[in-house]
Amino acid sequence: MSQLYEYPDYFARFYDIIYHQLRSHVDARYFLSKIKSTRGSILEIGVGTGRFFTEALGSGADIYGIDISKSMVDVLKNKLDPSEHYRIYTGDACTMKLDRRFSLIIAPFRVFSHVIDVTDQIKFLNNVWEHLDDEGKFIFDLFIPDPGKLQKGMDKVVDFEGEYEPGKKLRRTVSTSPDIVNQILDISMNFEWEDNNKWLTKTWKIKFRIYFRYELEHLITLSRLKLENISGDYKGGSLSKNSKEFVVVCRK
């Protein structure tokens, strides 16, 4: 992958606190039901801190995970019994070579937005194909760009304010700025947290690739995967002008 965007340790540390509140009510039911109804092995690409992984493993799924960010993998491994650590790989999905094949591969919560270059996007999709068994499926999601909102951007919007431990405050402030012609969203996240009666602060800048519908369809057609369906939500609803998410299902 020519552009690496590893998550910093302070983001990994606060990830669960922030996204269990901001995200899990949107997508957890969908991904956990796909995992639990799969009979063979499952791979989560961009497994992160294991927002789905720990519950899936606890329910008996033969699930594995890979993530490019060591900081995220470290948080996940801390939640697992060491005898399960062999299920977790640190690496890039564009170049991974695992000694297993999977019935289901998922890349939940915009993992594919981190893949900026077209060459890497095709490598990523073809590498997923390599790791699927003959009947295997690949499911991933992306946000649907709203050009009006993108153009306006976000200017220091506080999207999380709470406590990361009893009595210790955490605040995240987000700004975005679009580069529409290159389909890139520049995101700046500022974290402020209380520790030993002092406020600490860190800012992380990241680029997200913006994908449009037909580009996504063409990309998949260019890869070895077959596109089965793109829904507009996590309940299987059709794409419409009100849809907020691409939920993409491919097969080998």
* Interface with ligand SAM (CB under 6 A): 1, 7, 19, 45-48, 51, 66-69, 72, 92-94, 108-111, 114-115
Q: How far apart, in whole angstroms, are the C-alpha atoms of residue 107 and residue 41?
A: 15
By C-beta, is 190 or 194 nearer to ligand SAM?
190
- Closest Cα to residue 208, out of 190, 189, 227? 189
By C-beta, is 62 or 194 nearer to ligand SAM?
62
Write the DSSP string, 188-211.
Answer: EEEEEEEETTEEEEEEEEEEEE--
- H/E element, 17: helix 9-22
Residue 90 beta carbon to ligand SAM: minimum distance, rounded to whole angstroms:
9
Q: Are residues 32 and 11 in contact, defined by beta-carbon separation less than 8 angstroms?
A: no
Q: How far apart, in whole angstroms, are the C-alpha atoms of residue 55 and residue 80?
A: 11
Angle formed at CA 172 by CA 168 and CA 178, multiple of 5 degrees: 170
By C-beta, is 92 or 233 nearer to ligand SAM?
92
Residue 92 beta carbon to ligand SAM: minimum distance, rounded to whole angstroms:
4
- Closest Cα to residue 211, out of 123, 111, 128? 111
By C-beta, is 109 or 193 nearer to ligand SAM?
109
Residue 167 beta carbon to ligand SAM: minimum distance, rounded to whole angstroms:
26
By C-beta, is 100 or 195 nearer to ligand SAM?
100
Residue 67 beta carbon to ligand SAM: minimum distance, rounded to whole angstroms:
5
